[in-house]
Structure 1
Amino acid sequence: MVNLKTVGTKIFVVIGCVVKYGCIAHCTLEFVGDFVVCVGPSMEPTIESQNIILTEHITPRLRKIKKGDIVIAKSPNNPRLLICKRVMGLPGDRVKWGLLNSDVVPRGYVWLQGDNNSNSTDSRDYGPVPQGLIRGRAICKVWPPRDMRLFTSSVNEPSGR
């Protein structure tokens, strides 16, 4: 005969473990880092569509983003979408774009551009982006394995492979 008290205790323990490890996973993905699938051509050739990158969330929270970093941010045009762009200007920087255009990045904002200048919707279209929209900083490309590499903060990078 099955002891209902023993079965109930085991179910309670299993549910407790699922909740505990679910909370740990959630906090890790929300506050430490996660994996992002990049879609679209705006960061080519550095990051191609369907590449998977590892991001960390600590640097943006500490406001330690540097010029040249690749970041994941909420789109200023559609907050439900995430964008992957390179930081080209920090607060106070004068950013030139196009032949005659330039802007000064205001305090609390950054200037984001894709590495593929001819096929990227970025700060040239929607202006400086609030730093609060930055979700993470790209650390490395992890997929596909043949293209695995660390990212550096070189502003002159769009590098190939």
Structure 2
Amino acid sequence: MFRGFFVKTISFVGYTVQYGCIAHCAFEYIGEFVSCSGPSMEPTITNHDVVFSERASRHLCRIQKGDIVIAKSPFDPKMNICKRVMGLEGDKVCTSGPSDIFKTHTYVPRGHVWLEGDNLRNSTDSRSYGPIPYALIRGRVCLKMWPPHNFGVLAESPNDGRIL
């Protein structure tokens, strides 16, 4: 009787480990669902929207300007941020805020990206903390999953036409 219980327990643990490894690989290399909070990406992504973040682009170095990414916060590594890529290494970007009279510029250093929220007046982004290392990017957002009436590919940046 004890032997049957022991075999069933070991079998259960084995299946749990196998499925755990499969889930880990899926979340690490394929993608994950992310619930976004805060106003920094409005109107593209609003508070409590759920998006799908794929990981292949990050591993293949295929992040481009205009992509929305999930990255580790440069201030708190336990927190993720959701921002739009506005500059890649070597690009000249505007570092001033939307209400600043005099515009300032900087170049994005090698191995870094410049991130900004779509809601420029209410976003803590690279204008505050500077360019972030490419290694902090966790994935590229490709679909809005929730709410159901907004399901689909994300819209272009409302700030594409801004003057640098």
TM-score calculated relative to the size of structure 1? 0.90
**SS of structure 1 residue aligned to 2:89:** coil
Deviation by residue 1:77-115 (Cα, 9 ceiling, x = unmatched): 222211000000011110124342111111100000000
Which runs of 5 or more structure 2 residues have no equivalent in the other structure? 97-101
Partner AA of 1:61 in structure 2: H
User: How many angstroms apart in 2 are the aligned matches of 1:67 and 1:118?
Assistant: 20
Deviation (angstroms), 1:71? 0.1
Give the aligned length: 155
Distance 2:4 2:159 in 1: 61
Out of 13, 19, 22, which is 1:21 matched to?
19
- Match among 6, 9, 15 for residue 8 of structure 1: 6
Quote the sequence identity (%): 50
**Secondary structure of 1:115's partner?**
coil
CA–CA separation in structure 2 for the residues paired with 1:105 and 1:155: 20
Contact kept, 8 Å, 1:88 with 1:155, in 2: the verdict is no
For residues 99-151 of structure 1, the C-alpha deviation after alignment (integer angstroms, 9 at most, x for no partner) is 42111111100000000001000011111111010001001010111111113
Does the 8 Å contact 1:67/1:155 carry over to 2? no
Give the 3-state SS of the residue equivalent to 1:112 in structure 2. strand
CA contact (8 A) 1:53 1:140 kept: yes
Corresponding residue number in structure 2 for 1:148: 151
Answer whether contact 1:140 1:150 (CA < 8 A) is retained: yes
Deviates more, 1:65-74 or 1:8-17: 8-17
Q: Unpaired runs of 5+ in structure 1?
A: none
Q: Give, in angstroms, the shift of residue 62 of structure 1.
A: 1.8
2-side partners of 1:155 and 1:53: how far apart? 16
Give the Cα–Cα distance (whole angstroms) in 2 for the partners of residues 10 and 76 of structure 1: 46
* Partners of 2:120 and 2:103 in 1: CA distance: 16
CA shift at 1:155, angstroms?
4.9
Q: Cα RMSD between the aligned structures?
A: 1.6
Report the Cα distance in structure 2 between the residues aligned to 1:117 and 1:145, rounded to whole angstroms: 26
TM-score by length of 2: 0.88
